[in-house]
Structure 1
Amino acid sequence: MTSLATTRYTLDPAPDGLSLPQDFLNTRGVGTQPDLLADVPTATAWVAEALADGVQLSAADLQRLRTFRAELHRLVTPDAQQSQPVDEGGAPATAAGAALSAAGERRPPGGAALPGGGELASGATAPGAVAADTVTPLDATASTANPLSASPVAAGGWSVAAELVLGVDGVVELWPGGGGAEYVISRVLAEVLAGQQVDTWRRLKACKNDRCQVVFYDRSRNNSGVWHSLKTCGNPANLRAFRARNKEASS
């Protein structure tokens, strides 16, 4: 898998599987960079690179992916992160995160890898599975006005197809499911869940520059970063604020 959407903004991808949600969010067009979900051929090419999977997309799939992208992006903006409740350990205590975390352990991050190599095809059942459960897919037609209102996962959350698989080795793994947009969203949410479980999801942030909002992984020790790039966004903003303060003080 590659992170073409993220690296085009001269950013290093987030560690482990969290690079997938980051890259998905960075398919947004910023500045001279195009929207990688603008049309079916472009989106299909991005999916092939990011997921290393031949997922077929339709025009309806694109609309759902763009709607999901907008909602997920909202959750990594500075305002959303500041207002998000945290548990005693400092990790976000969202209803959706709690519901997904309660589903059990999942496969290691980094893609839907099959035991012994290869990848899981859309809707396929993992070999060696002795038990499975499926999350009920959200009816796409019910999400036209508010895609979150009908979700059975949690209030204000999305629902997509997935399987909890108990392998012969006793390890429970989460396998993304569905097809088209459903499968892409399932893959992205699987990695969001993994990031929430190890408390790295909160380090994925949208740049504070409203005209940018490129998503970066905050590698600062105290998770205090707000700019995807100090050179292009942070320094100009700080200079403008400095000049505004001086102007106000002299008036």
Structure 2
Amino acid sequence: MKNDPSNAAPGSLEAVRRFVDTHDIYNGRDALADVESATACLVAEGLLGKGRPMTAHDLSVLRDLRVALREMAAANTMGEQPPHEAVDAFNDLTAPHALSVRLDTGHGSVAASLQPREDGVGGVVAALAAAVHEAVLMGTWTRLKSCDNPECRWLFYDESRSRTARWCSMRGCGSMVKARRYRDRQRGRAADAL
């Protein structure tokens, strides 16, 4: 997986970003291509323990969750509400997996977090759902965006003041998309002149 610190999201939202980016559209790589590679990837990311083996159904759930999260992040890019289908898919995929509230004390205060109550892929799904929940409450969710370059769609965290970033990298995807749009406009003008 691409690990660009400039795209990193805060806290547990980074796990969501990295999970969605297991599908590297630009380079044609998918870390969730099969059960073996998905298991290795999620173990390496610290999302999955080495216990219960993953099934083909588990892999399907993870891929569907990844699609829903990417679609919701793409809506953030455009400043829109996420599509109902993506939200419904997220809700349906995460509903069967239990979370519990965990309280921790330290430094004179109490902190609360949601923790998965199961291991395996169910725990991965629950942990990602908890991260989305926390990001929505903290106001960071809408800054998690999908690159507006259709050949990339890499997730990134928008650090801009205006919250209007549309590309994972202005030098890379931003320049490429702007140049493509410029060439398209030039061709359109040339066609209109004929």
TM range (shorter): 0.7 to 0.9
Letter in 2 for 1:230: M
- The structural deviation recorded for 1:212 is 1.1
**Structure-2 residue corresponding to 1:175:** 115
Cα distance in 2 between the residues matched to 1:10 and 1:213: 17
- 1:40-94 per-residue CA deviation (whole Å, 9 max, x = no partner) reads 2211122122226514322221111111111111101147853318xxxxxxxx9
1:73 aligns with 2:70: yes
Q: Could you tell me the TM-score, scaled by structure 2's length?
A: 0.79
Letter in 2 for 1:162: L
1:58 aligns with 2:55: yes
1:226 corresponds to which of 162, 166, 189: 166
1:27 corresponds to which of 22, 28, 31: 22
Cα distance in 2 between the residues matched to 1:81 and 1:191: 22
- The structural deviation recorded for 1:147 is 4.7
The 5-angstrom pairing of residues 9-158 of structure 1 reads: 12-51=7-46, 53-55=48-50, 56=52, 57-78=54-75, 81-84=78-81, 147=89, 151=92, 158=94
Q: Which runs of no fewer than 5 residues in structure 1 stay unpaired?
A: 86-93, 98-145, 152-156
Q: Which runs of no fewer than 5 residues in structure 2 stay unpaired?
A: none
2:77·2:164 contact (CA, 8 Å) conserved in 1? no
- The structural deviation recorded for 1:245 is 2.5
1:6·1:22 contact (CA, 8 Å) conserved in 2? no
Cα distance in 2 between the residues matched to 1:184 and 1:226: 28
2:76·2:143 contact (CA, 8 Å) conserved in 1? no
CA-based RMSD: 2.9
The 5-angstrom pairing of residues 185-204 of structure 1 reads: 185-204=125-144
| C-alpha spacing 1:195/1:213, structure 2 compared with 1 (3 Å) | same
Q: Which has the higher helix share?
A: 2
Cα distance in 2 between the residues matched to 1:165 and 1:16: 17
Cα distance in 2 between the residues matched to 1:11 and 1:29: 17
1:217 aligns with 2:157: yes
The number of equivalent residue pairs is 182
| C-alpha spacing 1:171/1:217, structure 2 compared with 1 (3 Å) | closer
1:31·1:212 contact (CA, 8 Å) conserved in 2? yes
1:40·1:62 contact (CA, 8 Å) conserved in 2? yes
Q: Which has the higher strand share?
A: 2
**Structure-2 residue corresponding to 1:111:** none
Letter in 1 for 2:59: L
Q: Could you tell me the TM-score, scaled by structure 1's length?
A: 0.63
Of the structure 1 ranges 176-185 and 44-53, higher mean CA displacement relative to structure 2 is found in: 44-53
1:6·1:13 contact (CA, 8 Å) conserved in 2? no
Cα distance in 2 between the residues matched to 1:202 and 1:174: 20
| C-alpha spacing 1:58/1:229, structure 2 compared with 1 (3 Å) | same
